Each structure stands twice: as C-alpha cells, then as structure tokens.
Amino acid sequence: MVLFPTGTASCVPSATRGTSSLAFRSPLGTWLFDAGEGTQLQLQSAPVTKSKINRIFVTHAHGDHTFGLPGLLCFLGVDRARDPNQPIEIYGPEGLRSYLRSAVRYTSSRICPCYRVHELRDVPLAPGWRPWKTRGKVGG
C-alpha cells in the first residue's frame, strides 16, 4: 500500500503544488481523497494508473476539495469504458450528487465514466451549511 500526495497546497496552488488531493494505492484499487482544481494534472506526474482509480472520497465541500471533481471524472473517462457494472464510487457529504450532476449537465460532459455517489447524511458540506430543504425562505 502506498500513499501519494497529489495536491498539498490547500486553496493556494502554485506551479509545483496543486490543491488538495491524495491518492492511496492498494490491492483493492486506487482511492483518491479530495479533488481540488488541477488534480488531473497532478495525477499525470504521480505514479498512479488512472484506470485503477475506483473510489473518490470528498472530505468536505470547500472548493479546494471539490472544484476539480467534474474535470477529474472527464479525465478518467477518456480511457475508460462506460461500464455501469464498474462505476467509480464517490463518497462525500449530502449535496455532492446534486453538485456533480449540475456540473456535468451544465458543461455537456459526455466523456464522464459511470459513477455512483454515496452521500453521507448528517455530515455538513461545510461548517454552517444546512440542506436546502431545511432552509427557511427568508435569510436562509
């Protein structure tokens, strides 16, 4: 089992450090933790086989952990068959499915591989966040 930091600059990327992302390679496949912007670029220089990425975990919904997810999925979809029996499993806070569907639809992304989102309930997207259905009409 091997751990590869693919982004360690938090929300301030530089020419040599990308935003938050970490790859974990094991006999069960490669798991990616967070997908900040430019994760797909960082993966190209990491000793990680992109076709082996089978799980993505989003720790929370700040942009430096999520903005790269739609682009990453398209990057992974280039060399991967759209096999509904082998989707990329994505785990994250409630609201992640809606965010991802909106981003993929809005950009008409047709090269995304099959994926399945598992939302963790009662875990906020970010501190102070509440699901839309529980927000009031005024000031919510």
Q: What is the CATH number of the domain that holds 58?
A: 3.60.15.10
Cα–Cα nearest to 41, from 11, 19, 10, 9: 19
- Does residue 48 lie within any of the structural domains? yes
Instruction: Confirm whether 108 is domain-assigned.
Output: yes
The answer to whether position 137 is within a domain reads no
Write out the H or E segment, with its range, that includes residue 64: helix 63-66
Of 57-66, 74-83, 128-137, which gets the smallest average pLDDT? 128-137
Query: How many domains in the chain?
Result: 1
Could you tell me if residue 111 is inside a domain? yes
* Residue 73 falls inside a structural domain: yes
Query: Sorting pLDDT into bands at 50, 70 and 90, what band is 65?
Result: confident
Percent of the chain at pLDDT > 90 equals: 21
Residue 6 placed within a domain: yes
E strands in 16-108: 21-26, 29-33, 53-57, 88-93
- Among residues 64, 79, 83, 122, the one annotated as catalytic is 64
Q: For residue range 72-102, list pLDDT tens digits in order.
A: 998 888 888 788 888 999 999 888 999 999 9
DSSP notation for 83-97: -TTSPEEEEEETTHH
> Is-catalytic flag, 64?
yes
Containing structural domain, residue 89: 2-131
Average pLDDT, the chain: 79
